[in-house]
Amino acid sequence: MIRKAQLGDVPDIHALINEYAEQAQMLFRAPAELYEHLRDFYVCQEDARVVGCCALEIMWRDLAEIKSLSVEAASQSKGIGRQLVEAAVDEARQLGLRRVFALTRSQGFFERLGFSVVDRNALPHKVWDDCLRCTRRDNCDETAVVLDLSGT
Ligand SMILES: CC(C)(COP(=O)(O)OP(=O)(O)OC[C@H]1O[C@@H](n2cnc3c(N)ncnc32)[C@H](O)[C@@H]1OP(=O)(O)O)[C@@H](O)C(=O)NCCC(=O)NCCS
């Protein structure tokens, strides 16, 4: 079941994200930051467990970012990642956002969901704030992908 995150989900969200962060697949997020941004998050709950999460963070008047998308290894390839991103994109559409982007090493996953690769420099500079706390900042291997919501 995909639903908005609740306060009690934070320890599970923290564990999910930081397991991938340990493998340098995404940025660490501290519990304080997760509480602060909790309203951005969707989770996938199976039985009593959170097995996936995804955040939609508004960046600018027409732009939001998909962040911290994680599905636990044992639950991958069951459509959970797709459902999480679709929930975030639906909310973006309802908010009137025109574009949703992600910075990712899972380019193919996003392309299957209708996102297109764009030149990273086409995104506003504010997007790169997170790069300051990334160990790979001078050797970034992430691709920028964008979904255009105008007219949908
Ligand atoms: C990327 C991730 C979120 C995908 O979640 P998932 O639940 O396994 O994905 P889904 O089952 O919803 O897959 C949806 C589609 O994308 C495809 N897909 C999934 N991962 C893919 C990848 N890395 N590359 C290309 N295609 C991929 C699936 O085959 C599926 O295709 P289909 O619709 O034709 O069947 C998950 O692998 C993950 O958490 N990875 C580690 C963290 C990470 O890289 N997060 C992204 C940060 S931006």
Name every protein residue with a CB atom under 6 angstroms from any ligand 1 atom: 20, 25-26, 69-71, 76-82, 102, 104-106, 108-109, 112
Closest atom of ligand 1 to CA, residue 106: 23
Q: For residue 67, give both structure tokens.
A: 């962040």
Record the pTM. 0.94
Q: pLDDT tens-digit profile of 41-95?
A: 999 999 999 999 999 999 999 999 999 999 999 999 999 999 999 999 999 999 9
Contact 2, 83 (CB under 8 A): yes
Closest atom of ligand 1 to CA, residue 72: 39
Report how far residue 150's alpha carbon sits from residue 102's, in angstroms, rounded to the nearest whole number: 17
Torsion angles phi and psi, residue 27, rounded to 5? -80, 145
Closest atom of ligand 1 to CA, residue 26: 47
Q: pLDDT tens-digit profile of 1-35?
A: 999 999 999 999 999 999 999 998 888 999 999 99
Q: Whose CA is nearest to atom 15 of ligand 1?
A: 109
How close is the Cα of 27 to the center of ligand 1, in Å? 18
Domains of the chain plus CATH, in order, are: 2-148 (3.40.630.30)
